[in-house]
């Protein structure tokens, strides 16, 4: 039996499932989901738990300037560029227990399987938990992987503030105090990256396939719209004299919803957060901010739709003033053919039903793909539901995706 077979057979479905249950307690919510937002106490607890597991297996742990957490299994050639695999442990406020966490635990299970099977690889293999992928507390999302890949400036990200005005660098300092780790050697030279994730959509389940061979990720842009009006008394101020920021924001949002409806239902347009200031029932709102999350497989379409958003803001601002600021712009990602082929070959060799597919969701892999040959492996989630506490997956599918990961990692680590 060759080393790949030894390693894939050493993947333990029960251990992987139990680790998900252990992690789901950290920030666990009544409906069985998690609220483990980036750099929260719950996030620090998850980091501590992962590091305790790593230390018990003799793996080296380290962290970098934005708090990405690395678990390294040495290779026979210490100078060889490592292969990384991972995802994120932070969650949405009403998140599920698999989004992100599965990718981190699958990567860790891969290290354990290699260790249990006594399989050595030429290159070091590292499991990674990227900081703040969700971007629900601190914007922008996929922050840790973007800083690691040189896409975002570290200092700028450290100064990001959450909705309550807490600065990221202060939250990071508290997290590292609660879950300390030695500094990772500087540099981001990698020889490959593979991320495992639940699909977060219904296509695999509908097609009755176990493995998604992910070919790429659609483009995404995030915006913040700010509407400035004038606080006024709700009882005495005539409509004609009002500068009602909420009335203007609603008109803009309605125009945007109409302008972003496309016949093929390809564009994804979401207003996910609205803040009304001062938020008093009997004061006309003086300020409204709302977020926009827009996605599409083609850059030209994103350009076109961005112009319609800007036009809607200009046309519906009066009698208030309004601005629209683009917070992120991540181009569509095409994964490296070698890695995509390895994932598909591994699924076939393991006799797992599979299909090529793009990712509708964003992932840390979109930034790491700018650094090295990168690919992703999807497994189904129940009814495609995610970013929801009832998100669910099966132990069998999680283990199957992990076996495909192990095979792909061994091939990358020995080439
Ligand atoms: O928003 C996304 O696509 C990712 O799930 N954070
Ligand atoms: Mn995710
Ligand atoms: Mn997510």
114 alpha carbon – ligand 3 mean position (Å): 28
SS (HEC) of 177-201:
HHCCCCECCCCCCCCEEEEEEECCC
- Ligand 3 center–CA 364 separation, angstroms: 10
User: Ligand 1: which of 362, 376, 381, 384 to mutate, most ligand atoms within 8 Å of CB?
Assistant: 362
Q: Could you tell me the distance, in angstroms and rounded to a whole number, from the CA of residue 362 to the centre of ligand 1?
A: 5
Of 138, 361, 365, 384, the one to substitute when testing ligand 1's pocket (max ligand atoms within 8 A of C-beta) is 361
State whether the beta carbon of 361 lies less than 6 angstroms from ligand 1. Answer: yes
Each residue of 148-204: pLDDT tens digit?
999 999 999 999 999 999 999 999 999 999 999 999 998 889 999 999 999 999 999
92 alpha carbon to ligand 1 midpoint, in Å? 9
> Is 133's C-beta closer than 6 angstroms to any atom of ligand 1?
yes
Q: What's the pLDDT score for residue 78?
A: 87
Domain ranges of the chain: 3-217+332-413, 221-327
CA-100 nearest atom, ligand 1? 5
Distance between CA atoms of 25 and 97, rounded to whole angstroms? Answer: 9
pLDDT of 90 reads: 98
Specify the pLDDT at position 318. 98
Residue of 94, 141, 273 to test ligand 1 pocket, by largest number of atoms within 8 Å of CB: 141
| pLDDT at 186 (0 to 100) | 87
Question: Does ligand 1 have an atom closer than 6 angstroms to the CB of 141?
Answer: yes
Q: How far is the CA of 393 from the centre of ligand 1 (A)?
A: 17
The reply to whether CATH 3.40.630.10 applies to domain 3-217+332-413 is yes
Listed as ranges, residues in the chain with pLDDT below 50 are none
Output the CA 100–ligand 2 centroid distance in Å. 4
Helix or strand holding residue 9 (H, E): helix 3-9
d(CA 330, CA 150): 13
* CA–CA gap between residue 231 and residue 252 (Å, rounded): 19
Distance 272 CA to ligand 3 centre (A): 13
The beta strands (E) that lie in 82-173 are given as 83-88, 125-130
CATH, domain range 221-327: 3.30.70.360
Residues with Cβ within 8 Å of residue 99, at least 6 apart in sequence: 91, 92, 197, 198, 200, 386, 387, 391
* Whether residue 195 has its Cβ less than 6 Å from ligand 1: no
Instruction: Please indicate whether residue 201, judged by its CB atom, sits closer than 6 Å to ligand 1.
Output: no
Nearest CA to ligand 1 atom 6: 134
């Amino acid at each position: 039996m060759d080393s790949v077979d030894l390693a894939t057979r050493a993947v333990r479905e029960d251990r992987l499932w139990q680790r998900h249950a252990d992690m789901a307690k950290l920030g666990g919510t009544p409906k069985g989901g998690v609220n483990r937002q980036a750099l929260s106490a719950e996030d620090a607890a998850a980091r501590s738990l992962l590091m305790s597991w790593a230390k018990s297996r003799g793996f080296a742990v380290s962290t970098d300037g934005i708090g990405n957490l690395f678990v390294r299994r040495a290779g026979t050639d210490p100078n060889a560029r490592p292969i990384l695999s991972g995802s994120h442990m932070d969650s949405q406020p009403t998140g599920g227990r698999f989004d992100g966490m599965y990718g981190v635990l699958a990567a860790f299970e891969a290290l354990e399987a290699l260790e249990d099977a006594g399989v050595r690889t030429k290159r070091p293999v590292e499991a990674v938990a990227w900081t703040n992928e969700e971007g629900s507390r601190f914007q922008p999302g996929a922050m840790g992987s973007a800083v690691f890949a040189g896409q975002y400036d570290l200092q700028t990200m450290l100064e990001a503030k959450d909705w309550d005005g807490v600065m990221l660098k202060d939250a990071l300092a508290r997290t590292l105090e609660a879950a300390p780790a030695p500094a990772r050697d500087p540099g981001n030279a990698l020889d490959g990256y593979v991320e495992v994730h639940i699909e977060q959509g219904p296509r695999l389940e509908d097609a009755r396939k176990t493995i998604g061979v992910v070919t790429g990720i659609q483009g995404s842009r995030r915006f913040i719209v700010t509407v400035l009006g004038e606080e006024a008394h709700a009882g005495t101020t005539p409509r004609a004299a009002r500068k009602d920021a909420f009335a203007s924001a609603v008109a803009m949002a309605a125009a945007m919803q109409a302008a972003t409806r496309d016949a093929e239902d390809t564009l994804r347009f979401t207003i996910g957060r609205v803040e009304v200031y001062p938020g008093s029932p009997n004061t006309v709102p003086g300020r409204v901010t709302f977020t926009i999350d827009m996605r599409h497989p083609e850059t030209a379409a994103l350009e076109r739709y961005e112009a319609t958003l800007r036009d809607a803001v200009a046309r519906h601002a009066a009698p208030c003033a309004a601005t629209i600021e683009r917070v992120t712009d991540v181009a569509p990602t095409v994964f490296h053919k070698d890695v995509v082929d390895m994932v598909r070959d591994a699924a076939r060799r393991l006799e797992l039903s599979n299909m090529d597919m793009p990712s509708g969701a964003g992932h840390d892999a979109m930034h790491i793909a700018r650094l090295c040959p990168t690919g992703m492996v999807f497994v189904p989630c129940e009814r495609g539901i995610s970013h929801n506490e009832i998100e669910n997956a099966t132990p069998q599918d999680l283990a199957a995706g992990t076996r495909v990961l192990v095979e792909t990692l061994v091939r990358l680590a020995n080439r």
